[in-house]
Chain A
Amino acid sequence: MAAGVGYRNSGIVRKIATYFAFFCLLFWVGFPVYFMLITSFMRAHELGAKPPHWIPPEPTVENYREVLIGKAGEAGGYGSTTEFTRMMPALLNSTFVSVAVVLSNLVIGGMAAYAFSRFRFRLSRAAYFAILMTRVLPALSLIVPLFVILRKLKLVNTLWALILTYTIFILPLTIWILREYFDTLARDIEEMALIDGATRWQAFRMVVAPLAIPGIIAVGVMSFMEAWSEFFFALTLTNSLTYPPLLMSFRNLHQVNWNALAAATVIGVIPPVVIAFVFQRYLVRSLSEGAVKG
């Protein structure tokens, strides 16, 4: 490798500096995450200790049980117990929404990206520019009319409201990244397939799509993560049907059970974190190619 290090001198100083910087990275990322992790394995009375426990003295999974099954456990007096029974449905709802968003995004976005990549047509540049532009529109500012429209469609407080809005707001990114992939695939191969008598759909399915798989994975993963994480629309368009706004309502309980909240947080971030780690190669490539080259 060694790419990009050529401006440095080598030696012991550099080694020390490297490991010091590495320690900074570990601390920067690890400190907040670690503290929440250990909180989720501690009991309520262990939380306020001074100096704090940096390792849970008696690790317990009671908090996780309370969040997932709704058992009151040790912290029976807390008002949070009933609220936590909404956790499992919320996780299922979030999963449903995210998967639906991934699929609709790939189909709708894939079609549009293919059109931009393979055809020159009237207003194609203007349309592409307009679509990219919607990506930087503050979604926050559209909420009131959006609410009105969705209410007319009788979609408020349904998962479909979220699926619809998430799909649209992720579409520009999808179109942008997939177009990049389609553009890099040689048109000749596709045309050969056409000459051999394949229909456009066959050529797409058998030639273009397989080669674009890295892009398709990246787009799928990114739309999953955005759909899983989105908070503002979920807060305003639904009554905490999905995971992020439910977490907020745990937080706002009169008496917060911090340990159970930590457990709820950990459970809810497992899907995006696992997916990000598994697909990091695809993600990093699309993110950077998308951002730098366009």
Chain B
Amino acid sequence: MASEQLGKAAAQQRKHWDRKWIPYVLLAPALVTIFVIILSPLATTIYYSFSNIDLIRDRTTFVGIDNYVELFGSRLFWKAVEVNLKFAAIVVTVPTLTGLFFALLLVENFKGRSIGRTLLILPWALPWIVVGLLWNWVVNAQFGALNGLLYTLGLIDKYIPFMADEDWALVFTAMASAWRQTSFSAILLLAALQTIPEDLYDAAKVDGAGMRARFRFITFAWLRPTLTIVLLYNVVLGFLQFDAVWIMTQGGPGDATMLISVLLYRYTFINFDLGMGAAVSNVLGLITMGVGLIFVRLIYRSHTTYA
């Protein structure tokens, strides 16, 4: 009897607490701030991209698609696209492959593995700006580590001014990004590798699967979802990187490392052409949102199946 009564009271209390407004109250701070800081600027950026903004006379005039027409007709924009595609190609492939390589190494049982796993975290823990600086040290023409190494090994007898060369500048800014991203990729892949049940390999061995077959049909198959995620992360980085490139080259020499993000910065903060800056923003935004949409859909799908 007593417990029945207790249950009734509790049910009443739960009813009291499960009122419909609770989730909205809990969500309100997050939604309000996200609206103010993200969605309203997003709407404004879209509006700006169709406007001509005269900062001196503080006048905004609607110009339709003029900014986009000018942008798509400019040599500078297509140069930025070309540079960015090359940059992204390196930032997608190098971290994915070296990350996989290091992950496969660090799942092996050998002395030094724990040192390796700890060391792997280090690049990921460094701010992008520091990564850019580190690589500045590596490629510097007067005292750079890479020049020093090549010189010590006797491979060169004069230091090479890497960053004065357009191709090298692009390669090394991309390598700086790849360096940190490799750690991130490897961390994700290593975690996935560690979850492969050993029985799978034993069973495959019993069935007479060779080494290559075991790698392909067990390891690789198991890693595929993680690899997809890693690839998407790397593509997004390939288009959103700014910090490390900005501190290394500020887009130079010439326009050799002028990513779309650098172009955006130039229009907005150097030319103070906010309309054009907003147009570049939206182009960049569409590219990454496209990738992001795939990404979120993957997560979202897994969520609904788990729930």
CA distance A33 to B123 in the complex (A): 9
Q: Which residues of A contact B117 (CB under 8 A)?
A: 280
CA distance A131 to B39 in the complex (A): 10
A33 and B122: CB pair below 8 A?
Answer: yes
Q: Is A29 an interface residue (CB 8 A)?
A: yes
A6 and B226: CB pair below 8 A?
Answer: no
Q: Which residues of B contact A287 (CB under 8 A)?
A: 184, 187-188, 191
Q: Is A146 an interface residue (CB 8 A)?
A: yes
Q: Give the residue of B27, B48, B214, B306 whose beta carbon is less than 8 angstroms from that of A111.
A: B27
Chain B residues numbered 16-56 whose CB sits less than 8 Å from any CB in chain A: 17, 20, 22-24, 26-27, 29-31, 33-34, 36-42, 44-45, 48
Chain A residues numbered 271-288 whose CB sits less than 8 Å from any CB in chain B: 272-273, 275-277, 280, 283-285, 287-288
Residue of A nearest to B195 (CB): A3
Q: Which residues of B contact A164 (CB under 8 A)?
A: 33, 37
Closest Cβ of chain B: how far from A259's Cβ, in Å? 10
A258 and B108: CB pair below 8 A?
Answer: no
Q: Which residues of B contact A108 (CB under 8 A)?
A: 29-30, 33
Q: Is B179 an interface residue (CB 8 A)?
A: yes
Residue of B nearest to A292 (CB): B226
On whether A232 and B191 interact (CB within 8 A), knowing A141-B284, A146-B37, the answer reads no
A22 and B30: CB pair below 8 A?
Answer: no
Q: Give the residue of B29, B121, B288 whose beta carbon is less than 8 angstroms from that of A277.
A: B121
Classify chain B's interface size: 35 or more
Interface string of A139-176 (1 = CB under 8 A from B): 01111111011000000000000001101110100011
A247 and B133: CB pair below 8 A?
Answer: yes
CA distance A171 to B246 in the complex (A): 26
Q: Give the residue of A3, A51, A236 whose beta carbon is less than 8 angstroms from that of B197.
A: A3
Q: Is B118 an interface residue (CB 8 A)?
A: yes
Q: Is A205 an interface residue (CB 8 A)?
A: no
A228 and B44: CB pair below 8 A?
Answer: no
Closest Cβ of chain A: how far from B55's Cβ, in Å? 11
Q: Is B89 an interface residue (CB 8 A)?
A: no
Q: Is A127 an interface residue (CB 8 A)?
A: yes
Residue of B nearest to A261 (CB): B133
Residue of B nearest to A142 (CB): B41
Q: Which residues of A contact B106 (CB under 8 A)?
A: 25
CA distance A165 to B36 in the complex (A): 10
Q: Give the residue of A30, A109, A200, A291 whose beta carbon is less than 8 angstroms from that of B119.
A: A30
CA distance A284 to B282 in the complex (A): 33
B129 and A248: CB pair below 8 A?
Answer: yes
Q: Is A196 an interface residue (CB 8 A)?
A: yes
Q: Is A124 an interface residue (CB 8 A)?
A: yes
B135 and A32: CB pair below 8 A?
Answer: yes
Closest Cβ of chain A: how far from B133's Cβ, in Å? 6
Closest Cβ of chain B: how far from A185's Cβ, in Å? 14
What does DSSP make chain A's interface, helix, strand, loop or mixed? helix
B125 and A144: CB pair below 8 A?
Answer: no
Chain B residues numbered 182-208 whose CB sits less than 8 Å from any CB in chain A: 182-184, 187-188, 190-198, 200-202, 204-205
B269 and A236: CB pair below 8 A?
Answer: yes
CA distance A142 to B268 in the complex (A): 11
Q: Give the residue of B107, B152, B215, B288 whose beta carbon is less than 8 angstroms from that of A3.
A: B107
Q: Give the residue of A183, A265, A280 whose beta carbon is less than 8 angstroms from that of B118.
A: A280
Name A residues whose Cβ lies closer than 8 Å to a Cβ of B: 1-9, 15, 18-19, 21-22, 24-26, 28-33, 35-36, 39, 47-52, 54, 107-109, 111-112, 114-116, 118-119, 121, 124, 127-129, 131-138, 140-146, 148-149, 164-165, 167-169, 171, 175-176, 183, 191, 194-197, 199-200, 225, 228-232, 236, 244, 247-248, 251, 258, 261-262, 265, 268-269, 272-273, 275-277, 280, 283-285, 287-289, 291-294
Pick the 4 closest A-B CB pairs, nearest first: A6-B201, A136-B292, A141-B281, A229-B127
Name B residues whose Cβ lies closer than 8 Å to a Cβ of A: 6-7, 9-10, 13-14, 17, 20, 22-24, 26-27, 29-31, 33-34, 36-42, 44-45, 48, 98, 101-102, 104-110, 112, 116-130, 133-138, 142-143, 145, 148-149, 151-152, 159, 179, 182-184, 187-188, 190-198, 200-202, 204-205, 211-212, 214-215, 218-219, 225-226, 229-230, 233, 236, 239-240, 242-243, 246-247, 261, 264-265, 268-269, 274, 277-278, 280-282, 284-285, 288-289, 291-293, 295-296, 298-303, 306-307
